[in-house]
A and B are shown apart, each in its own frame.
Chain A
Amino acid sequence: MKVEDITIPTTIATEGMLVKDVFRECVHAQVPAIPYRDRNGELEGRISIRDTLKRSCLPEYMVELAYVLSDKLTCIEDAEAKAREVLCQVVDPYVIPKFYSIKPDSTLLRAIAIMEKNNCSYLFVANEGEYLGVVTRMAVVRWMIEVNENCPSDGVAQN
Chain B
Amino acid sequence: MIENSHAVSNVVFGLDPFWVSIVLFVSTYLVIISDKVNRAIVAGLGAALMVVLGVLNQEAAISGIDFNTLGLLTGMMVIVAITRRCGVFQFVAIWTAKKVAARPWPILLMLSVVTAVFSALLDNVTTVLLIVPVTLLITGELKVSPYPYLFAEIISSNIGGAATLIGDPPNIMIGSAAGLSFNDFLLNMAPVMPLILAVTLIIIYVIWGRGLTATDEDRERILSFREREAITDIPLLKKSMSVLALVILSFVLAHPLGLEPATIALFGAAILLLLVNIRSRADKQSERVHHIFGEVEWITIFFFVGLFVLVHGIERAGVLEVLAEHMIEFTGGEMAVTSMTIIWSSAIFSAIVDNIPFVATMIPLIKSMAPAFGGSEQLLPLWWSLAMGACLGGNGSLVGASANLIVAGFAERAGHRINFLHFMLVAFPMMLVTVAIASVYVYLRYL
In the bound complex, CA of A61 to CA of B412 (Å): 12
A60 closest partner in B (C-beta): B413
Closest 5 CB pairs of A and B: A61-B133, A70-B224, A64-B133, A67-B229, A61-B136
CA distance A67 to B88 in the complex (A): 13
B395-430 with Cβ < 8 A to chain A: 410, 413-415
Find chain A residues with CB under 8 A from B132 CB: 61
Q: Given A59-B136, A67-B226, A67-B229, does the pair A73, B414 have CB atoms closer than 8 Å?
A: no
Instruction: Kindly identify which residue among A62, A67, A72 contacts B87, using a CB–CB cutoff of 8 Å.
Output: A67
| Residue B238 CB within 8 A of the other chain | no
B373 at the interface (CB under 8 A from A): no
Q: What is the bound-complex CA distance between A70 and B222, given in angstroms?
A: 9
Q: How long is the Cα–Cα vector from A74 to B226 in the complex, in angstroms? A: 16
Select the residue from A65, A67, A72, A74 with max chain B CB neighbours within 10 A.
A65
With A59-B414, A60-B410, A65-B230 as contacts: A70 and B133 at CB distance below 8 Å: no
- Which residues of B in the span 55-113 have a Cβ within 8 Å of any Cβ on A? 87, 90, 94
Q: Is B325 an interface residue (CB 8 A)?
A: no
A64 to B134, CA, bound (A): 9
Query: Closest CB-CB distance, B275 to chain A, in whole Å?
Result: 23
Q: A69 contacts which chain B residues (CB < 8 A)?
A: 137, 225-226
Inter-chain CA distance A61–B130, complex, in Å, is 10
B410 touches A72 (CB 8 A): no
Q: Is A80 close to B, CB under 8 A?
A: no
Known interface pairs A59-B136, A74-B221; A68-B414 also in contact (CB < 8 Å): no
Complex Cα–Cα for A67 and B232 (A): 8
CB neighbours of B232 from chain A (8 A): 67
Q: Is the pair B94, A68 in contact by a Cβ cutoff of 8 Å?
A: yes
How distant is the Cα of A128 from the Cα of B87 in the complex, in angstroms? 49
Instruction: Assess the B230–A72 pair: CB atoms within 8 A.
Output: no
- Whether A72 pairs with B414 at a CB distance below 8 angstroms is no
Q: Are A62 and B230 in contact (CB under 8 A)?
A: no
- A78 CB within 8 Å of chain B: no
| A71 contacts B by Cβ under 8 Å | yes
B184 within 8 A of A: no
With a CB–CB cut-off of 8 A, which chain A residues contact B94?
Answer: 68
A70 interface neighbour in B90, B143, B226, B413, Cβ under 8 Å: B226
The yes or no answer to B141 lying at the interface (CB within 8 A) is yes
A71, B226: Cα distance in complex, Å: 10
Classify the secondary structure of A's interface with B: loop
Residues of B within 8 A of A70 (CB): 221, 224-226
Decide if B220 touches A72 in the complex (CB within 8 Å): yes
Asked if B140 is at the interface (CB within 8 A of a chain A CB), the reply is yes
Contacting A at CB under 8 A, from B206-226, are: 220-221, 224-226
Alpha-carbon separation in the docked complex, A68 to B92 (Å): 12
Contact of B230 among A59, A61, A67 (CB under 8 A): A67
Nearest-neighbor residue (CB-CB) of A75 within chain B: B140
The smallest C-beta distance from B277 to any residue of chain A, in angstroms, reads 24
Shortest CB-to-CB span from A17 to chain B, Å, is 24
Q: Which of B90, B137, B225, B410 contacts A62 (CB 8 A)?
A: B137
Chain A residues whose CB sits within 8 angstroms of the CB of B227 once the complex forms = 68
Residues in B neighbouring A60, C-beta threshold 8 A? 133, 410, 413-414
B137 adjacent to A72 (CB under 8 Å): no
The reply to whether A74 and B140 form a contact with Cβ atoms under 8 Å apart is: yes
List 18 extra interface pairs beyond A61-B410, A62-B133, CB under 8 A: A59-B413, A59-B414, A61-B132, A61-B133, A61-B136, A64-B133, A65-B90, A65-B134, A67-B229, A68-B94, A68-B225, A70-B224, A70-B225, A72-B220, A72-B221, A73-B221, A74-B141, A74-B221
Q: How far is the CA of A74 from the CA of B413 in the complex (A)?
A: 19
Residue pairs across A and B with Cβ atoms less than 8 A apart, 22 shown, are: A59-B136, A59-B415, A60-B413, A61-B137, A61-B410, A61-B414, A62-B137, A64-B133, A65-B90, A67-B87, A67-B226, A68-B90, A68-B227, A69-B226, A70-B225, A70-B226, A72-B221, A73-B141, A73-B221, A74-B141, A74-B143, A74-B221
Interchain CA distance A62-B140 in the complex, whole Å = 11
- Partner among A61, A64, A65, A72 whose Cβ is within 8 Å of the Cβ of B224: A72
Which single residue of chain B is at the shortest CB-CB distance from A59?
Answer: B414
Q: Give Cα A61 to B90, complex, Å.
A: 11
Encode contact with B along A38-78: 1 for CB under 8 Å, 0 otherwise.
00000000000000000000011110110111111110000
A residues 75-121 in Cβ contact with B at 8 Å = none
